[in-house]
Structure 1
Amino acid sequence: MNNTNFMRDLMLTGFELSKISGVPMLYLGNPGMGKTTIVNLWAKRNGYHVESLIGSAFDRSEILGYMVNDGAGTDYLRTKAPEWFHTITELEKDGLPSVLFIDEIAGAPKDVQASLYRLIFERTIGNGQKLPESTIIASASNYKDNLPPMCDITSPNLNRFCVVNFGPQSFEGLYSEFLQEADELEKDLPSFAHRELTKEIREKATQAVRGIFEQINSTYNVKESTKSQLNFCNKRLNNIFAGEYSKNGDVYNFISGRTIGYFRDIFCAMYSIGGCKVDYLTKFLDGLIGLGFNSFSDMQELNAFRKFVRELTKDALNELLGKKKEKKTVTYNPMLSIAENIEALLAFEDKLDAGNLEKACKEILSEIEKKFKTDTESIAELLFINKKSKEELISLRKDYDAIEIFSLIAGDALSASEKDTILSKLKEIITTYKFYINTCIQTEAA
C-alpha cells in the first residue's frame, strides 16, 4: 500500500471537521506539500470561494483594515475594511460562502501574527466587523526548521489550534501522490456522512468524552505510578518535548481546558461525518495540542499514551456510531524490539482479557531472558560494550528501560504461583545490567 492521496484526504477530512466543530486547524508541515492545491480542491467540490492571506507578505493593515479619515468632519480616524473582507462579505450576499486560507503564519512579523490571531480566533477585523458565519478559516505554516531563526509560534498560540502535522506516511506515498496528473487528484475523493448532531447525541458525546478523560486521569495521574503525570500548565520546560516546535515532524505541547473543549467538539464532528480512519483519527487527536505530550520525557511512554488515547477514543466513537467493539489481542511481534512490544502491550493493557494479557507477558518475558542473560559468559560480553554500534547501544538501552515498566504489568497479570519467581528474575536482570546500561549511555553520548 503506497498511501497515495494520504495528505489530500487528511486535509479534506480536517476541513469537514473544522466546518462542523468550529475548531481552528493549523496545518503544519514542510513547504511544497500541496496545501494550497488541496484547499482549492475542497472549495471547488463544496461550492466555496477561496480567499488567501500570506502572513509573511502582508502587513497589519492589509489584515485588519486601514486607518482613514472618512471625510465626515470628525477629528479622528476610522478603520476601513480591507479589500479581501469586502470580497468575502459581498460574495456571501450572493449566497457564495468562502474559505479564508491563511498561510505562512510563523513567517509573519509579531505584530502581523497578532493581527492574524485576532482574525482567526475572534473572527473580527479592526473595526469590529465579523466574518460571515459560513466562512471557514484554514491556517498553514512551515516547521521552524524551514524558517529564519527569529520566526516562531509561541506555545499559548499553538494551544489555540488543532495542529495537524501535515506530511506523507512514506516516501513511496509522497511520490505516488505528486506524480499524478491534475485530473487524477480529483478521483476517489472521500465521502462524509454528515449525520445530524441532535441535543441527545451531543449529550452522549459529552459523556463519552468525560469517560475518556476520566480513564486518562486515573491511568496517568496516580501518585507512585511509573507513568508520567499529565502536564496541565506547561511548567516542565526542561522536558525534551516541552514547547516542541523546533523540529520537523511533530509538535508537542500541554493540555488545557481548551484542549478538552476542542476534543469534545471534534469528537462530535467525527460522529457527524460517520467516523474517521484510524491514521487520521491519530493525527487529529495528536493535533489537539498534544493532549499533554510534553508531560513525558521518554518516547516509549509517550507513544504508549498516544495509543491509549487513540484506542479509548476509537472505542467511544464506534459505540456512539453503533458499531461493534473490536476485541483486542496482543501477541509478541518478532519484527519489533522488546521495547516496542512492551509499548504495544501498554497501549492495549486495559482492553485485553486476563488470558491474553498473561500469554503476552510470558512471550515478552521469554524474549527478555534470551537477550538479557545473567550468566558469567553473557555478562563478560558486555565488557566490550564500547565496541558496539551506536544503534545497538540505543536499542539495548531502550529495551532495558522498558523492562522496568514491564515488571509492573507482569506483577498484575501473572498468576500467584508464578508471580514471585518471575518478578525475582526481572529484578535480577534489572540489577545486573544497571551498571552496564549506564556505561552504554556514556559510550553513546561520547
Structure 2
Amino acid sequence: MQETDSIYSTITKEVPITVFCGDGTFHFGEKNFDLPFQITCNAAKAYISFHSPFHCFDEFDGATFNGKLEDGRICNGCLFGDYNQQNSLMVANCSELMIGESQSIHTIETVLLGFYFPHEFSFKFKDYEIAFSKSSTSQELAQRTIRMSGTVSEGNFVTISGSELEIDSAIDLLRDICLLIRPLTASEVYFGYMKCNNNTLIYSKKKMMGKLFGMRSNILESTHQYPDYLNRGLQKLETIDSFDKTSIIDIGHALATSAACGLMETGLLVLTTSLERLGQKTVFENLNSDNSLQIKSILKQLKYFLKEQAKSFFDEHTDSFSDEQQNAIVKSISRIQPWDTAFVRKIKDHLIQNNWKIEIDFEKVKELRDSLAHSGMFPPNLSTKEAYEMQVQIEVFLLVHVLDLVGFEGRISSTKDGWAIFPWKSELKEGKTE
C-alpha cells in the first residue's frame, strides 16, 4: 500500500481547497432568507452550499447573498445556474464572490492554471510591476496529472503591484497575459481567483476558463525571452486592430486543440481553418486599397449585367432550369468577389506578405483541408506521416504569426534529426534551421 501511495503521489497532486463558514442573507427575487452557509474555493472556482427552503432550481436563478464569515470578514456574491441538490442541501456555483473589502489595493495575486514556467521573472508594464514566481509544479507532473485524473494543476503565481490598483484593470491585464501565454504553451491558460492585499478574495464574472492543455514549450524557456515577449505583447494589444487581436486568441485556441484534442484530424481541421482566416486579412486590405471604390462600382455594374443576362436566358429557355436552380444561379452571381479568395490564394498572399521564404505544397494543404471539412477524414493518398508533418508546419506558421504581431524575435523550440534545436524566428521563416 505504501508503494502504491508513493507511485500515486508522483503522478498526481492534491488540489488545494479552502473552506469558509458563515451566516448571511440570501435574496431570491423578492424573497429573503437568513441561512448558514459554507463556501468551498479552489484556484478556479468557488461554490456555496446551504440548506435550501425551496425544492425547485428555478428559484435560484440570479440569486445573490451577503453575510459574515466566522473570522469576521464580510462576503457577498451571486449564484450561477450550476446546481446540485440533494434533499434540502443545495450546492451552487458562485459566478461572483468577494470575501473582505477592496479598499486601497496595492497588490493583486493569482495563480495561473496551465502554465508551469520553471523560473521566476518580473517586468514592468506602465505603472505595474508584474512578478511571476517559480512554478512549484513541473510541466511533466502537470501533464501526468491531467492525463491520469483530469485535474489541472496550479502553476505560476502572478503578482501585480502598484499604487491604488483597480480591480477591473487588473482583471483585464491578467486576461491579456493569459491570452499571450496560450500560443506559447499550446494550452488554454487561465486564472480563477484574485487575492488583494493578501486579505481580500475575489472571484469575478470576468475570470477566464480553459479546457484544452497541450502543455508545450513552444519557445525557449528563458527568463529573458518571457518577460520581453509579455511586455511587448501587452503594449501591442493596446494598439493592434481587432482582427489581429482576435488572431492571437484564435491561434491560441487552435494550437491548444491541436496539441490536446487527441485526434489528428480534429487538430488539423482547426489549424487549417485558423490559417485560412489569417489569409482573409489580405483580402480585406486589398478591398480597402485606393482603387477599391472604383472596382466595387465596376463589379456592381457587372453583377447587374450578369443577372439581366441570366434572366433573359431563363425567359427564353423556360424548361432548362427549375425555379430553385435559377435562384441559386442568381445568388452565385451576387457572391462574386473582386479578388480570388480561394484557400490557396489567401494562404499564399499571407505568407508572402509576412516574409516567409519556404516552400510549401499549397495544393496538398488545400486537399487536406477540403477532405477534413467534408468527410472528417484524411485524403486517401495522404499518409499519417505526411499529415503529421503538415500539422507541425502549420503549428509553426501560426505560432510565428503571433510572434510577428507582438514584434518578438526570440528562439523557437523545434527538432531536427531527433535533437532539440532553438532557431531564431527569422531563421525559421527563411527555412534556415542549421
TM-score for both structures, normalised by structure 2: 0.27
Instruction: Kindly indicate which of the two structures has a greater share of residues assigned to strand.
Output: 2
TM-score for both structures, normalised by structure 1: 0.26
Q: Using CA pairs under 8 Å that are at least 6 residues apart, name the structure with larger relative contact order, 1 or 2.
A: 1
